[in-house]
Amino acid sequence: LTAAQKAFAPSIRLSDTKLDLGKMGSKKTLKGTITITNVGRSELRFQDLQVTNPALNVSLKKQTLAPGKSTKLHISVNAKYLRNHLEHTPRVMMITNDPAHPKCEIKVKVQK
**Sequential DSSP letters for 39-96:** -SSS-EEEEEEEESSTTEEEEES-SEE-TT-EEEEEEEEEHHHHTT--SS--EEEEEE
Report the chain's terminal Cα–Cα distance, integer Å: 46
From the first residue on, what is the mean pLDDT of each consecutive set of 10 residues in the chain (112 residues)? 86 96 91 96 95 92 95 94 73 95 94 81
What residues does 29 pair with on adjacent strands?
78
Q: Tell me, what's the pLDDT at 84?
A: 65
Q: What pTM does this model have? A: 0.90
Q: Tell me, what's the pLDDT at 86?
A: 61
